[in-house]
Amino acid sequence: MHKIDKNSYKKKAITESLSTGVSITQACLGAGIARETFYLWLKDKRFAQAVEIAKRSRCVVLEDAMHKTALGGNATMQIFLACNLMPEKYKSVNHQVLTFSKEIEEGKKVLSEALDDMQKKARRKHGEE
């Protein structure tokens, strides 16, 4: 005969909450238990397995949100997803963007120094320095 788990409703509530994307802390609060109790319950193999399945479901929720953000026009998320979902095609995009940004900053510095030199020469020529 199987032992009846008097906390089965709370365990089910926790796994259902986790699968929607909430944190362990939020799931425990919703079920009315302490986080410590949650970690004690993980010794139960069936509960631990249900929690793992719920965590994988949570990843799907996150991926859906990321896709929605990217499709909404968020360029950062579009680049992130492209680089991570199709690395063979876009793996160097981040490197290229960073390299290009550094080159721009270096170019600004060179131009700024050249402009300062030109202004000093012009002031000297007109007797201002």
- Note if the pTM is more than 0.85: no
| More confident position, 11 or 78 | 11
CA angle 30, 36, 37 (to 5 degrees): 65
More confident residue, 79 or 36: 36
Structural domain for 97, as ranges: 92-129
In a domain, 114, yes or no: yes
Enter the DSSP assignment of 74: -
Residue 129 domain-assigned (yes or no) = yes
Domain assignment present for residue 115? The answer is yes
- pLDDT of the residue at 111: 78
* pLDDT grade for 85, boundaries at 50, 70 and 90: confident
Return the closest-CA partner of residue 15 out of 49, 40, 64.
49
- Is 68 or 110 the better-scoring residue by pLDDT? 68
Q: Tell me: the pLDDT tens digits for 6-45?
A: 889 999 999 999 998 889 999 999 999 999 999 999 999 9
Instruction: Domain count for the chain, please give it.
Output: 1
- Structural domain contains residue 23: no
Q: Is residue 102 part of a domain?
A: yes
Q: Does residue 14 fall inside a structural domain?
A: no
Is residue 2 classed as helix, strand or coil in its secondary structure? Answer: coil
Task: Report pLDDT for 32.
Answer: 95
Does residue 110 carry a pLDDT above 80?
no
**Buried-state track 35-49, b at ≥16 Cβ within 10 A, e below 16:** eeebeebeeeeebee
Averaged pLDDT, 99-105? 67
> What pLDDT was estimated at residue 49?
96
Whether residue 61 has pLDDT greater than 70: yes
Residue-wise pLDDT for 86-98, tens only, equals: 887 876 655 555 5
Q: Could you tell me if residue 108 is inside a domain?
A: yes
